[in-house]
């Protein structure tokens, strides 16, 4: 993904743990991104229909569905950057995440610098 030098990347964080969601959005905004957060897949779908974006940071265990299945079926993220953040750390999980379209697969707890 290449952005014009003058344009900041717009990031959507999809995370159901409120404190972690707030921390991630705050950190990304402090680092110069334009970040917003939602707590469900339904909210993510609505947000993506009403905003331009470049990257999705996606938790897999969400209250309204599995983030991995959503990633595989969601057309709006096909040409976007995808970072998975999840507690699922087995090798098979990581491989499934990359095959579903993730560019990066991070296992929680995640350091914000990652």
Residue 36, token pair as written in the block: 């917003």
User: What mean pLDDT comes out for the span 42-69?
Assistant: 96
Q: What is the pLDDT of residue 13?
A: 98
Tokens of 17: 């743990």
Q: pTM for this one?
A: 0.91
* Cross-strand bridge partners of residue 107: 86
Confidence of residue 114 (pLDDT cuts 50, 70, 90): confident
Tokens read off for 32: 């110069």
22-37 confidence digits (pLDDT tens): 999 999 999 999 999 9
Q: Distance between CA 51 and CA 64 in Å, rounded? A: 21
Alpha-carbon gap, residue 44 to 38, rounded angstroms = 6
């Amino acid at each position: 993904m290449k952005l014009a030098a003058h344009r900041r990347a717009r990031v959507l964080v999809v995370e159901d743990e409120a404190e972690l969601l707030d921390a991630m959005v705050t950190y990304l905004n402090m680092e110069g991104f334009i970040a917003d957060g939602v707590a469900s897949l339904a909210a993510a779908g609505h947000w993506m229909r009403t905003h331009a974006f470049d990257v999705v940071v996606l938790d897999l265990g969400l209250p309204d569905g599995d983030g991995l299945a959503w990633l595989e079926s969601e057309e709006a993220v096909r040409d976007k950057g995808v970072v998975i953040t999840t507690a699922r750390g087995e090798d098979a999980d990581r491989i499934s995440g990359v095959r579903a379209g993730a560019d990066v697969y991070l296992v929680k707890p995640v350091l914000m610098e990652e």
